[in-house]
Structure formats: C-alpha cells, structure tokens
Amino acid sequence: MTKYDHKAIEKKWQDKWEKDEVYKASDTSKKDKKYVLIEFPYPSGEGLHMGHLRPYTAGDVYSRFYRMQEHEVLYPIGWDAFGLPAENFALKKGVHPKISTVKNIENAKKQLQSWGMSFDWSREINTTDPEYYKWTQWIFLQFFKAGLAYEATGLINWCPKDKTGLANEEVIDGCCERCGTKVEKKEMRQWYLKITAYAEKLLAGLKDLTEWPEAVKLQQENWIGRSEGAEIEFPIANPRVKRYVILHGRASKPKDNSYPWLKKELEDRGFEVEIPEMPNPGEPNDLEQTDFVEKNCKLDESTVVVSHSFGGIVALRLLERGHKVHGVVLVSTPTTGKFLDKKARPTVSEAVRRGFDYKKIRQNSDYFKILVDSSDTVVPMEDGKVLGKNLDSYPQTVQALKPHFQGKEEPAILETLLPYMKIFTTRPDTIFGATYMVIAPEHPLVQSRMSISENFSDIAKYLEEVKKKDEITRTAVNREKTGVELKGVKAINPATKEEIPVWVADYALMGYGTGAIMAVPAHDERDFEFAKKYNLPIREVVKGGELPFVGNGKLVDSGEYNGMTSEEAIPKMAKEFGVPKVQYKLRDWVFSRQRYWGEPIPIIHCENCGVVAVPEKDLPVTLPEVERYEPTGTGESPLAAIKEWVNVKCPECEGPAKRETNTMPQWAGSSWYWLRYTDPQNGKELASKKLLKRWTPVDVYFGGMEHTTLHLLYSRFWNLFLYDQKVVTAQEPYMKRVPHGIVLAADGEKMSKSRGNVVNPDEIVEKFGADVLRMYEMFLGPHADTVSWNDKGIMGVKRFLDKTWNLGQVLVEHQVEESSQEVLQVLNKTIKKVTSDIENYRFNTAISALMILLNAFERQKTNISKLSWEDFLKLLAPLAPHITEELWHGLGHEGSIHKEAWPKYDEKFAQDTKVIFVVQISGRVRATLEMDAGSSQEDVKQKALADENVKKYLTDKEIIKEIFVQDKLINFVVK
RNA sequence: GCCGCGGUGGCGGAACUGGCAUACGCGCAUGGCUUAGGACCAUGUUCCGAAAGGAUUGAGAGUUCGAAUCUCUCCCGCGGCACCA
C-alpha cells in the first residue's frame, strides 16, 4: 500500500487547477450567482498567518460547496497594500515600498496557493496599483463634489509614533490601533469625510441586514450612538445692559436689512432700542454722522452699540471722542478700504484713511465683538482681522443668511447681542431642576465670556491645567470632577426664569452635542457628584426614588407640568423650551494622513480659487518617487518636500497652485474593493453597471469582529453614498456577515513573536499537508468562537485523512454493487448533516459527521459500493480538496471532483428504521426499547410494561398519566 | 458603570423547535504488534460506588410528566463602549 505523499500530490493538483482555471468565475453563465468574500490581506513581510487561514478556509469550503451545488461562485482575492508597515520597512531598509510590496505579494500568493485556496486569480486586484487607486481618488472627488469631503482645522487624534493623524475609529482605549502608542490631541488642518451625514442611513440600513449577527449590528448601532432629545437655549443674563443703539451702514435705512427684526427681538426682551436714521447715507461722511449720533442718541455705560458696515466706522469714532459704552458689536466693518466687488466707495475709503486711535477706543468699552461673514461679497475677511488685532479681540466668523449680513433676519447678530448657551439634553422633562450650567473648556463661549467674568485668572489657570491632561486621564470614569465658576456670568433657566451659575468643567465634552449642558443634579449622577463637591443646589423635579433618580417618574415642582410622567412631558417640554433634536456619537471621519505610502488626495490648492478638485481626466494622481519617506512629524506629509510634484497650475485659473500633500488612510482602498472584483480591468468606470448587477451585493462576507466599527462601517458608508450617486446597484454591500473567532496559541495567549508561541501555517503544510491544516483549523471549534491551537489535536485529523487514503487504496479493488443497509443509512444521514452544516458554517460538526461515516465504512469495508465511496469523497472535497481529487482520479475519473455535483440524500435512508424508545417513570429513565420507527403508543406501552425493570418500578403504583412522544419516549407518571 | 456573548468530562467541544447529556476528536489507561516511534490495531474512559444504585451541564430558586435548553436572582469569564448630557 502506498503512503500518502501530501507534498507531491498537493503540488500536483494546485498546478493543474491553476492551469485549467478550475475556479474562474464566469460573468455570463446562467447558474445562480454566489459572491463569497473574505477580507483581502495586507501583504506584510511576515507573510500570512493563522489569523488569515481561518476565514479564508471557511470561505473556501463554502465556495467549493456552492460550486458543487450548481452555483456560479465568485471567490476573489486581492491585496490591501497601502499602509504603514511597508513605509516603515522602507524607512529602515531603504527599499521602496513598491518593491517590498511586490515581493511580499509574491510570497503571500504562494502561501495561499499552497493552502489550496480556490480563488479566481484572474480578478486579482491591488490597491496600490494606479489603475486601482485612480478609482479610489475618483470616489473621493464624488464625495468632494457632494460636499461630503471637506477641510477643517480641529483637534484631532495624533499618533506620535506613527506621526500621523487618526480617525476616531482608529483609537482603541486612547491608544493607536496600529502601534498601541498613547494618542495625543493636536490641532491640525485635516480632510474629513462627512460620515455623520449618513448616520441615519447607516443606522436604518442595519434593520434590513437580517442575516447579520446581532452582535455586529449592535456594535455599529452603539458606535453611531443615536439619542433623541432637545436643543434648548439658555440666555446669558447681563443686567448691566439696558439699551442698544444700532448704527446702519452706507446706502441703508433703519427699515432695511434685519434692523426692524432686530429691534423687535430686542424690545420683546425689554431693552430700549434706538436706530438713528443717518444723514447722507448714499455718500456718508463719518464725521458728519458721528456728530449726528452724538447729538441725537443717548450713549452711556449701559449701552451696547451695534454697527453694520459703515456704521462701524461711526461707532469707533464715537469711542474715539470719549464716549464710554458697555460694549460694541462690529458687523462687517470695513477697515482697509478695499472691497471684494472691486467697486469704488470713495467716502468709505476716505473715512478709513483718517485712521483710528485704537488705544483710546479700547479704553471706552468693556468689550468688542467683531462679526465677519465668510460669504461676504463686499468687505474682505482681512478687514475683520485688522480690527481684531487692534482691538484685542478675536473676530468671529459665521455665515450670514444673506452675504454681508443683509438678510431680513440675521440670527448670528442677535446671538452676539444676547448671548445664550445652546445645550443638548435627552431629559427636557428635568429642566425645572437645572440649577447650574456646565460648558466645556474648549467652548467658544469660555473665550468670549471669560473677559467679563470676575475671576479671569482662576479660569485661565484651570484651562491651562486641562490642556496638560491627555485624553485618557481626562475621560477616565472614576476621576473626580473639577471645574471653575464663571463668576459674574449667569444663565437664565427658561423654565424657572431664575439666574443660575455657569461653570467651566471638563466633564462636559466639546465633541458631543453643543459642548454645554444644563446640569440637573437631582437626576443625573455626574451632575449630582459635581453639585455635591461644589455645594450647588439640588432640586428634585421627578419623583421616583433616591437621588440622583435618573429614571422616569412623576414631575413635581415643574409648574404646569406637575403630575405628568416623564414620558408624557419629554416631547411637550422639548417643544416648549427648545427644539427636538437627534444627536449622534458618530464623528466625521478624519480622512488625511501625513504619510507617504497612501493614495494622494486629488485636490489642488489655488491662491485665487481656493480648494479645487483635480479634473477627473487627470486621474490618477500618482504617487511620486521620493528620496526620503520620513514623516516630518510637523503634520506635513513627506510629499510636501517634492517641489516638482507639489507645484502645479490651477486647473481653473491656470495660476500657480499647490497639490494637497496628505494621503488617504489605510481604509480608503478597502472601502470599495469588492465592487472592483466584479470588473477588475475596467478603465472607464470603477465597474460596469451590468457586472455590478450580476455579482453584487456580496452574499457572504467572512471577516473579523475587529473591523465592525472600522472597515465594515466605512465600506457601508461608501456603498450607501455610491448608491445615492447611482454608481452602484445595491444599497447595502454585504447581505450576510460571518465573523470568526481568533486563533490563540496553545497557551491560550495571543500568538506573538515576543511570546514565541506562534504557529506558522507553512510549517504545518510542510509537515502534514494543506488538507490536514485546513481541516484541523475548521475542527478546532465553532467558527465564531475563539479557539486555541493544540499541537496534539491535529493528529486526530491527520489520522482521519490517513485512514481515508488507506481505505481509498483498498476500495479501488474490491467493491460490491450495492452498499449494505447500514452503510446507506449512515451515508444518507451524513449527506444531510454535512449539507446543512456547511450551509450554516458549522464546519466542526460537519467534520465530526464525516469521521463517524468513515468509522462506519471501516467496519463495513466489504459492503461499500463505488457510488457510496464517491459520495463520501465528494462530501469531503470542500474541506480536503487535494486528497479527494487524487482519490477521485484514482477511481478512473478524468475531470475534477470539484466540478462534480454535490451528493443528494434519500430521505428513505436518512431516517432510521429502528428507533430507541426511552421508557420513563415519572420522568426518570428506567429502560430503553428498540422499536420499529412509527410504532404506535399501544405497542410501545405493551412492550414497556413487559420489561422487568419497568415492572419493578410499577409495583404498588398507579399510573395517573401517560406521555408519548413519537419515536422518542414513553413516560408513565405514577402515584 | 452600560450593552452584548458565554460558563457542559482531564482538554477542544456535541446535543435540531424542552425528550437517552457528554457525539466527534485529543489525552489517559490496559492489552496486542513492533529493534524503535507524536506509528498502527483492540478495549475502556463524566463522577461516586465492588455492585445494586445514585449524583451531574457555574450557584440557587421556579415552570414542566420531563430542563444544558424556558423564567428569575446571584457568581465568574470574554468582547465592545465608556463623564455621550
């Protein structure tokens, strides 16, 4: 008997399969399609490991099974090859990432083939191929055009080791997801993808994904973090202000623009309002108008002067002349005499030319507020900056409803005049219990209110302290809360009309909601803790339990709402005091990286035109060759150093411009790759509609839990967007998600080089062969469970395949025409079980069923027909493709076993003819009976009562009840 | 703290909608074959007990003729989120 030579046989068939293109997916066949996907690997220098093998084998078994079930199966593979390791390797060894990537891919491909994976290699893709990332960039441009890719400066997560910014999703426990380094906060200009615009769709889509595991859906749901509540404005009181004087601009009158609206809003709140009608508005003279205001208006320390455009010059002149006021609000004030519309306004320019005595002006008002419109068409933003510098104030940039603040209503102005804190709460029913306010240290209001608070230095000190803390210590749960009161600043509770104190405390987070909260210490644990520490009033407004009671109950001390339940009151009070609002925890996706080895972001910055998209015809923007890959660490990508690449002509005005030098994150290429597999060579579109329709959505996606709120969320986002853009045909990308457990080392620890417990799959293949490795990997435990590798355990599978081989040698020669009844019965049951097990990803039990079948075969060696043996080989083929192919050919077949039809079972044999009956007496097993299947209750009862042991237990007892389960059991309940 | 998943022999794990708990495999034991073997074959292997018999699915209660499976309370382990208002 020949021994099974796994090395020679496995190699032989791998070569043959490749040559014959056995696993190529046809775009045109009439069979039902099945798109099976695995997460394509990153080709690292270390090669592929056990973590890859598990899902890939599962996908492979599943694919092979469906090919035999008459499906056209697409099981593709590619390389997610951008990313830091290749770049870090380049840094260390000086090898260009392109070169090391090619080498690593070659090696990984060899590994995959040695594992007998049935991928369709003709569709192999590589995210670093310009023909591929051309489309990654193209998709980015679609986001940009839709306003969903934007640039902003903000505090982002920064990994000091990888020297790059990170997305929220890439920060695990305050550490970098890649390297584990503590993440810092850094203020940077970054590209963002507006994933928050899709929060609702991402959430709603989950409901349709009925074949996704609940755990995966829940995790995404929690990550998106939807909560319903209300946004409520708390006015900030300033008792020193009694009156407003509004100075209109050039070519304007008190009834123009938003003045009437403003006047009414202010008067409604009990303020005195004056809007003098200025002389000669068409050709305004600042000195003449200043004289006019001096004569006609009352200006004192309870007055706030509000000015629009030219009126600002008049306002400044008034202070220059020594008028003391409480505050000055300057809206779109011209200070340079230059205008965006290039029109000449000689009287304005002349007024500006006279200059201002800013020192004097500064002394005559407690504060200056400078409002700048980002969409202004007249006064350049530059003018606001000049003003800010001279008045020691930060210009506040907002977008006016109509350019140059010319709308009939301009809420931004009102907001400046009547500062208020906007808060978000899920419990508007507790508003009567809001006894103080908390704002985050980064809140803009802190900056603007600090100057008028009485304890400026305390606050400044606190802000310094907060700045020093890193994110982890700041958000640690059990940390004692700290804060400082903004003394002299009071908010007004819109429900009770009481003035309540305002605190700056870092338990309010700028990143969520509005960065400010109403604190209800009686009904919020955090507020309770804070109130206790700082002796703030605690007022119970919902009855229900011990304070802080946070649940639902009956309202008390809440005016007309007394007696209502929280549930009833929440929607009503949300509407009365604010507006209902939905909040998400999801943040926009920080999409730029300050590294070399990634897709260049296809954007050009022009001095005149601003941010301009690279025209689609110029794609791809290829990565240039560089000498040095070092990240600069300053927040600039290494690309910035390549002048010839960076400096370009603006595609719009042809003026001098610069390329965006940040690259895309690792997740970009994988956010759409499954689409490309359907049409990998297409040069005109990312994939044709026809082929997308043929193959997508993916039917089954095998992958890890660790990608749930990363790749899986990102790629759903991209797909939903591309669906809205009518680029793809399926709304959701993956119909079914099958997660797998981690493979731990024998010691129950994670496999790692430093622990020295790594099991290298290639060594196992060398020693036992791919079939043994694949089967053992599947046999370790349920596919979704974490399992531990066991060196000894693998021998069980090896013995099974050895026995299969040996029996195969015997069965080539002596066979019977018809298998015995026992063989047929076990075989048919096994077909049934293996079929449903593979359909349901229960590979471990499928294997044990095959073991049982083989054991039966060994007992019945001489009673096995050729057909029965062939059925066994077919059942085993998806799991052990090589040995079964060899045995199949040994039986004289020409074609591949993997193209054979899956065995069908005969229900007649799959069912037992004899069944074992359990005889219970009051629920305890007292005997077992062998009966014909389908025996009647009466027959079973007769036989049971005849049993000696049963008789023994029935003596002196009365049967009061009889329970009969067909083919299973009979139970006598006795007294 | 919140959310989710799980706890079955010495070990990995079976048990479909409540119906013989411990399939299959590892390990172990005994015997055989063998110069030898992480080889092969046979038998046994949840625990207590010589046996009859009894106990047993993290602990405790409940529903039921009958519970690993359903309900409640608690304990332990794993994963996710984490001052999210």
pTM above 0.80, yes or no: yes
Amino acid of residue A421:
M
Query: How far is it, in rounded angstroms, from Cα A762 to Cα A55?
Result: 16
In this prediction, residue A124 carries a pLDDT of 98
Query: For residue A370, is it left (φ>0), alpha (ψ between -120 and 50) or beta?
Result: beta
A933 touches strand B (CB under 7 A): no
DSSP conformation letters of A117-139? ----GGG-EETTSHHHHHHHHHH
The answer, yes or no, to whether residue A212 has pLDDT greater than 90, is yes
CB A650 within 8 A of CB A659: no
Collapsing DSSP to helix, strand or coil, A743 comes out as: strand
The nucleotides of chain B lying under 7 Å from a protein CB are: 1, 3-5, 11-15, 19-21, 23-27, 38-42, 53-54, 65-67, 78-85
Lowest mean pLDDT among A513-517, A902-906, A907-911, A961-965: A907-911
Residues 784-803 of A with CB within 7 A of strand B: 785-788, 790-793, 795-797, 799-800, 802-803
Question: CA A683, A591, A738, A762 torsion: positive or negative?
Answer: positive
**Residue pair A227/A582 in contact by the 8 Å Cβ criterion:** yes
The span from the CA of A924 to the CA of A947, in Å, is 15
What pLDDT does residue A972 have?
A: 87
Asked if residue A250 lies in contact with residue A379, where contact means CB atoms within 8 angstroms, the answer is: no
CB atoms within 10 A of CB A523: 25
| Residue-wise pLDDT tens digits, A684-715 | 999 999 999 999 999 999 999 999 999 999 99
The amino acid that residue A714 corresponds to is: Y
Percent of chain A with pLDDT over 90: 66
Nearest nucleotide over every DNA/RNA strand to the A507 CA, judged by C1': B83
- Beta strand pairing status for A184-193 and A175-176? unpaired
For residues A565 and A554, give the distance between their C-alpha atoms in angstroms, rounded to a whole number.
4
The mean pLDDT of chain A is 91
Contact assessment for residue A74 and residue A35, using Cβ atoms and an 8 Å cutoff: yes
Decide: A708 and A220 in contact? Cβ < 8 Å.
yes
CA at A924, C1' at B47: how many angstroms apart? 19
Task: Give pLDDT, residue A444.
Answer: 76
pLDDT in tens, A590-636: 999 988 999 999 999 988 888 999 999 999 999 998 877 777 767 77
Per-residue model confidence (pLDDT) at position A280:
95
Q: What is the pLDDT of residues A137-171, one digit of tens each?
A: 999 999 999 999 998 877 788 888 888 888 888 88
A975 or A887: whose pLDDT is higher? A887
Question: Which of A275, A366, A355 is CA-nearest to residue A320?
Answer: A355
Point out the nucleotide closest to A709 (alpha carbon to C1′).
Answer: B80
pLDDT tens digits, A431-483: 999 999 999 998 877 876 666 677 888 998 999 888 877 666 666 656 789 99
pLDDT value at residue A269: 85
Q: Is the CB of A474 under 7 A from strand B?
A: yes
> How is A647-716 classified by DSSP, letter by letter?
EEE-TTT-SEEEE---B--THHHHTSHHHHTTSTT-SSSSS-HHHHHHHPSBSEEEEEGGGTTTHHHHHH
- The percent of residues above 70 in pLDDT, for chain A, comes to 98
Q: Say which residues have a Cβ less than 8 Å from residue A99's Cβ, sequence separation at least 6.
A: none
For the cut 90, the answer to whether the pLDDT of residue A264 exceeds it is yes
Measured CA to C1', what is the nucleotide nearest A584?
B84
Q: Is the CB of A91 under 7 A from strand B?
A: no
Question: In sequence order, which residues have a C-beta less than 8 Å from that of residue A116 and are 6 or more positions away?
Answer: A10, A13, A14, A60, A770, A771, A774, A881, A882
Does residue A742 lie within 7 Å of nucleic acid chain B, judged by its CB? no
Average pLDDT (A323-344) is: 91
Q: Which of A85-94, A259-268, A710-719 has the lowest mean pLDDT?
A: A85-94
How far apart are alpha carbons A323 and A645 in whole angstroms? 57
Torsional class of A156: left (φ above 0), alpha (ψ -120 to 50), beta (otherwise): beta
CB A921 within 8 A of CB A971: yes
Give chain A residues 285-344 with Cβ within 7 A of strand B.
Answer: none
Pick the range with the lowest mean pLDDT from A26-40, A408-422, A776-790, A866-880: A408-422
- Mean pLDDT over residues A708-723, rounded? 96
Lookup: nucleotide whose C1' is closest to A800 CA: B25
Q: Is the pLDDT of residue A814 over 70?
A: no
In this structure, are strands A303-308 and A243-247 parallel, antiparallel, or unpaired? parallel
Q: How many helices, marked H, and strands, marked E, lie in chain A? A: 34, 37
Q: How confident is the model at residue A565 (pLDDT cuts 50, 70, 90)?
A: very high
Q: What is the pLDDT of residue A478?
A: 64
Q: Per-residue pLDDT for A258 more than 70?
A: yes
